[in-house]
Amino acid sequence: MKRTTKIEADKFLSNVPEEHNFWCNNGAEIKNLKELEIALRKMDDDTHDHHVNKERNDFHNWIRDIVQDEKLANELTKKKNRKSTHKTINNRVKILKNLTKRKKK
């Protein structure tokens, strides 16, 4: 897979269009990857398991289809619990933030 560019990192970290915000079953509204990372940190396992189970992976789908971060979405297909999902998203957000701080050469 190709490397993520600064422009892509900026896009992935930006708010999605309002009509595509992610709504958790606990009422949380998520507008971007950082908000998803924060929500997962605070989320209980039951809420996570509502969105990630054998039938579906809502976080993967939202990241793939709306945020359009294919690399992160692919990584999430292997994650089945809240802690591993949170850790994966947290690590990706850190990488993306570092990419956005790079100066153009």
Residue carrying the six token digits 């579906």: 56
Residues near 27 by Cβ (< 8 Å), separated by ≥ 6? none
Q: State how far the Cα of 75 lies from the Cα of 82, in Å rounded to an integer.
A: 14
Instruction: List the chain domain ranges.
Output: 6-101
pLDDT attached to residue 7? 94
Name the residue type at position 93. Answer: V
pLDDT mean values, one per 10 residues, the chain (105 residues): 88 98 97 98 96 96 98 94 97 96 63
User: Which pTM value belongs to this model?
Assistant: 0.92
pLDDT attached to residue 2? 76
Q: State how far the Cα of 52 lies from the Cα of 17, in Å rounded to an integer.
A: 23
Cβ count near 39 (within 10 Å): 20
